[in-house]
Structure 1
Amino acid sequence: MPPEPLQIRIATAADSDRLIPLINEAFSVETFMTGPRTDPERLAASMQKGAILLAEDHLGQLVASIYVEVRGERGYAGMLAVSPAKQRLGIGSRMMKAAEDYLRTHGCVALDITVLSLRTELPPVYRAYGFVETGAVPFEYPHPLKDGLETHCIVMSKPL
């Protein structure tokens, strides 16, 4: 079965009302967090600091997004969100490729991501995309974790 056709483009502020529910729904599996993953203020700040790539299906429905940021010769990608109804169809890997292409065209030679240590299912997924663990950084989020849990961010990198 051929992959679903997607239109991938840079999001604008006009897309915010559709992006926020998509991102929060995709990250609803992070039940250890308090509060939403994003809100209008955080999304606007992300769009000013970097860019958000979004994917729409052939009906114009928003199905995925990913944050990208150029940091000199290194790029950063994060907040990969795929609609739960569209997960496990290869859309996440297509969004990672779009992020890599975007960063490559902006002069980046490497890509960094961070994965919460509590999301133990994610490092193997990103290893399959060619990432390797390169370090760890403290977890910084505006909302605390539930039940006194602790986590940190695993830094993973790959050459572009």
Structure 2
Amino acid sequence: MFITLATLTDVPELTALINASYRGESSKKGWTTEAHLIDGQRIDNEGLAEQMEDPNAVILKSMDDAGKITGCVYLQMRGDKLYLGMLTVSPLLQANGLGRLLLQAAEDYARSIDYHTITMTVISTRTELLSWYERRGYQKTGDVIPLIITEKFGILKQPVEMFRLEKTV
């Protein structure tokens, strides 16, 4: 297993992985699913390619020995903080330490570009996920943000709020 920068040629495989990990029936095999809160796709090829073309953003990907993408994390420079999003691990591989490895790689990347604060948002009702991040040093900032998405990226089944978390690295 190794972690490297994703490229535009990875978009179709990344899109499939992200959608399978967050939404729909396949996501229910892992513990990070949002399927009970949000219907529809999490991302499409066009939206992911757009994120990757942002000069202030990268996606780190993990790959198995056969070259299959098993996880990813999105990182974007926002002012003096690095935003972390879409931390994704294949539902079939969750709870085996890959998420921790991707999070560590994100923190290493932040330090390599001289960023010392990582920020993210997590759905407020995802207590197990919030606890997972808190065990890794991320703390709630007190900011609560309503999740607003277009139908292209999901259909909310109920109002959803997110907590902002931060960590100094």
Same fold (TM over 0.5): yes
Q: What is the 5 A alignment of 1:53-68?
A: 53-68=60-75
Q: Which residue of 2 aligns with 1:45?
A: 50
- Which ranges in structure 1 are unaligned for 5 or more consecutive residues? 1-5
Q: Structure 2, unaligned stretches of length 5 or more?
A: 24-32
Q: Distance in 2 between matches of 1:34 and 1:48?
A: 27
Aligned residue number for residue 30 of structure 1: 34
Tell me the equivalent position of 1:145.
156
Mapping of 1:11-160 within 5 angstroms?
Answer: 11-28=6-23, 29-31=33-35, 32-49=37-54, 50-134=57-141, 135-143=143-151, 144-146=155-157, 149-160=158-169
Percent same amino acid at aligned positions?
35
Query: What's the TM-score, normalizing by structure 1?
Result: 0.90
Aligned-residue CA RMSD (Å): 1.2
Say if 2:3 is the partner of 1:8: yes
Number of equivalenced pairs: 153
In structure 1, the residue corresponding to 2:127 is in which secondary structure? coil
Displacement after TM superposition at 1:34 (Å): 2.3
Q: 8 Å contact 1:70–1:103 — kept in the other structure?
A: no
TM-score, normalised with respect to structure 2: 0.86
1:3 corresponds to: none
